[in-house]
Chains A and B, each alone.
Chain A
Amino acid sequence: MQEVMKKRAVELLSDGTVSKVIGWMPGEFSYDMTPAVFTTAGEIEENFIYNDFCGANVSKYVMKEQKKDADAKILVFLKPCDTYSFNQLTAEHKISRDNVYVIGVGCDGMADVDKIKAAGIDGILGIESDGDKFIVKTVYGDETIAKADAMAERCLSCKSKKLMVYDEIIGEDGEVNTDCGRFDMVAKLESMTADERFEFWRGELSRCIRCNACRNVCPACTCEQCVFDNPNSGIAQKAASDSFEENMFHIIRAFHVAARCTDCGECSRVCPERIPLHLLNRKFIKDINELYGDYQAGDDTESKNPLTSFTFDDAEPSVVHERGNE
C-alpha cells in the first residue's frame, strides 16, 4: 500500500496536479508516525510512510494548509472514517473541496500500540506485519500478537469502511456497517441509574488534565477562538478549578459538536488519560437517530443536520424533557 501511495504522490506532484501532500513521516519506533506535509518528490521518496499505525485523522490538516494558502493544490490520503470528517468540513465551508485531490485509502482497521503494550509487550524495538499478526521485536525477546488483538478500540466498532469522498482509491473500498455495535456502551450507560451513570462519568472525567488535546484534534472543533480560551467568556480556565468545570468542558464540547461529530474517535485516541470521550458524542448520535431518524454527519456535503433544520415531525421539547428524566 505504502509504495502505491508514494508512487501516486510523486506522480501528482510531478505533473503539477498538486503542490502539497499531506501524509505521514516515520518516527523513532515502528509505531509513532507524525502527520507531515510534503512538497517535493524527493521528500516523499525519503520520508513518506504508511502502515497500520497511521491512525491519525489528517482531514483537519487540510483546513490548516488552506488557511496558510487558500489556493494551494493539496493531495490528502484519507481512510474511510477520515472521509466523513472531510465531508463535514466541506459542508461547513471550513475547507474548499475544489483544490483538494483526495485519495481514498481502503482500511481494515488500524493498530494501536497501547493495545500491544496492554498485552504486556514492552521494550519494543520493531514491529513487523506478518499476515494477520504482528511480530514484535522487543528488548525482552520476540513476541507475536494477532492484529485483531492490536486493533485500535475505535476500529472494533467501525461504522463504515466505505470511502465517502475520493478522486481515486488505493486498496479496497468497503461497506457501511450498521450492525457495528457502536452504541452498545451508550445503551449500557443509559440502562444505569442516574447515580450510577454520574459515578461512571465522574470516575472518567476526574482524570481529565485539561490538555485540550481532544478539542484541538477534533475535526468538528473549528472555532476561531474556543469559548474556553476566551478570557472574556468568564469560563476560560486552563485547569479545572473544581470538578464541575471538568464536566462542563466535555459536556459543552459534546453539545457543540452534536450532529456535526462524525464519530471518528480522535478525541478518545489522543486523550492521555484514556477517557472514553467518544461515548458522549455517541450518546448524541444515538439520540438524534432515535428522535429525528437516522443521520450520519459527513455522509455527504449537502444534507441539513437535524439540529439546525426544522420540520413538523421534529421531536417535541416535551419528549426530550421526558427522556431527560429517565
Chain B
Amino acid sequence: MMLYLSSDKLDLFLEKASEKLNVYVPVDDTNGGASYKKWKPGTAVSKALHTTKSAKDFFFPQTENLVEFKMSGKNIEIIDPRRETEDYAVFGVRACDVRSFGILDKVFLSDPVDTYYKNRREHGLILGLSCNRPAETCFCGTFGIDAAEPMADVDFTEADNGYFIGANTEKGTAFIESLGDIFEDRGAAPAEEAKAKTREIMKKLPLANLTTDGFGGDKLDELFDAAGWADLSEACIACGTCTFVCPTCQCYDIKDYDTGHGICRFRCWDSCMYSDFTKMAHGNPRLTQKERFRQRFMHKLVYFPSNNDGEFGCVGCGRCLASCPINMNIVKVMKKLAKEDSGK
C-alpha cells in the first residue's frame, strides 16, 4: 500500500504544508519558462518538465551577502549579516535535480563546511516528482539516475489522477505524518506502472545510449590534450548561460560592494566561461575561449570524478542543451571526444 493524494487535493496538500513551512513550487513564467515561487492560495503549479534555472538557488543562491563591514577611519567593524533561516519545502524537484544536491553537498559540506550552504540545506525539505514525460534532451540515465525515482525526502509519482507518495528519509516521513489524514491508502500498482512507463520512454529517447565510457578521473592526460576542443569551442560566445542554468555548476566569485553605508561582501555565481575567471594582476593561465571551455567540461567529466570517488559532475538534466545560444553542450562534447578516443 502507498499513500495517495488525488490531483484535486494538491492545493489542499500545499495549503496544509504551507501552514508548517514555506513551500516553493514551480510556476509558469510569462514567456514560456518556469521558476520556483512561494506557494500561496491560488498559485498554479507548473506542468513544465524543468524550471529554467535549477533548484540549486535554494541552497546556493545566485548572490548572497557573506559579511558586512563598517569602516571608520582606520577601524573596521565586521558584521555577520545572517538571520535564522526558516524551514521550507521545495515541491516538484525532478530526479536529476535531486541528485545534483548530492553533488553540491560534496563541495560545500566537505571540510571546511560552508555554513551558509549547510544552513539552507538543513532547513530545506525536498519533495521530489518523478518524471512521466521526459524530453529528448534528458540523459539522466547516463549518470545512473532513475527519472522515475527522485529519491528526495518525499517522492511523488503521478498516476491514477493523483500522486502516489513515499518518504525516503526520516525528515520526509515526519513531514508526511505531520499532515494528518489528507492522504488515502491505495495499492501501489498504478505507481509502479507509471514508473515502468517512464523507464520505457527513457530507453527510447535519443540520448539513451550516451555513456561515460572514456571519461573519469583517470583520463586526465588524453582528454586534456584531445584535438576536439578547438572545434567544439569555436562557436562559443563566452556567455555564462550553461553555467547558470546548470544544477551542478558551483564556482563562485567573492566581491565587495559599497552600499553607501558600509561595505557588503557578497558571493555570486561565476562562470569559468568568462575571460576574467582566472585573470590575475600579472597574467591569465587560460588565455583563449578554448581553455575556458575545456575547463568546464574537464571539471565535470574528469576533475570532479577524480576528487569524488568517480562521481561525475553532471546529472543529465538537459538544461544546457535547451538554452545554449549556439547549441553546444556536454553531450556534443562527450560524443566528439569519445569518437576521437576510439579513433586512436
Contact = CB atoms under 8 A, between A and B. Distances in A.
Interface of A: 27-29, 32-37, 56, 61, 114, 117-118, 122-125, 138-140, 203-204, 207, 209-213, 215-217, 229, 231, 237-241, 269-270, 272-276
Nearest to A268: B31
B253 A238 contact: yes
Nearest to B242: A211
B122 interface: no
B133 A123 contact: yes
B31 A275 contact: yes
A123 B270 contact: no
Given A28-B206, A34-B326, A211-B240, A238 B269 contact: yes
B83 interface: no
Contacts of A140: 133, 201
A153 to B, nearest CB: 9
A79 to B, nearest CB: 16
A310 B240 CA distance: 39
Interface of B is mostly: loop
A309 B45 CA distance: 53
B188 interface: no
Interface of B: 29-33, 35, 49, 52-53, 62-63, 133-137, 201, 204-207, 231, 234-235, 237-241, 243-245, 253, 255, 257, 264, 266, 268-271, 274-276, 321, 323, 325-328, 331-332, 335
A122 B136 contact: yes
Chain A to chain B: the 7 pairs with minimum beta-carbon distance, closest first: A239-B268, A270-B325, A213-B239, A274-B31, A32-B327, A272-B323, A239-B63
A125 B134 CA distance: 12
Contact of A273 (B33, B133, B231, B268): B33
Given A34-B328, A211-B240, A241-B266, A272 B135 contact: no
A118 B134 CA distance: 15
Contacts of B136: 29, 122-125, 138-139
A124 B32 CA distance: 18
A320 to B, nearest CB: 30
Nearest to B49: A122
Nearest to A56: B326
Given A122-B49, A204-B30, A239-B269, A211 B235 contact: no
Nearest to A113: B322
A274 B29 contact: yes
A270 to B, nearest CB: 4
B147 to A, nearest CB: 12
A237 B268 contact: yes
Given A27-B332, A139-B201, A239-B269, A34 B240 contact: no
Interface of A is mostly: loop
A114 B234 contact: no
Nearest to A269: B325
A241 B266 CA distance: 8
Contacts of A118: 32
Given A34-B327, A35-B326, A229 B62 contact: no
8 contacts: A28-B332, A34-B326, A56-B325, A61-B235, A122-B49, A125-B206, A213-B240, A272-B241
A181 to B, nearest CB: 19
A239 B235 contact: no
B135 A123 contact: yes
Contacts of A204: 30-31
Contacts of B327: 27, 32-34
Contact of A213 (B137, B237, B268): B237
Contact of B52 (A32, A239, A241, A273): A273
A37 B239 CA distance: 19
A302 to B, nearest CB: 29
Nearest to B257: A241
Contacts of A32: 321, 327
Given A122-B133, A124-B136, A36 B234 contact: yes
Max chain B C-beta neighbours (<10 A), residue from A37, A203, A238 = A238
Contacts of B235: 34-36, 61
Contacts of A56: 325-326
Nearest to B240: A211
Max chain A C-beta neighbours (<10 A), residue from B29, B241, B264, B321 = B241
Given A123-B136, A213-B241, A217-B237, A207 B205 contact: no
A213 B320 CA distance: 13
Nearest to B63: A239
Contact of A209 (B49, B53, B231): B53
A117 to B, nearest CB: 8
Contacts of A37: 234
Contacts of B207: 28
A211 B240 CA distance: 4
Nearest to B323: A272
Contacts of B237: 213, 216-217
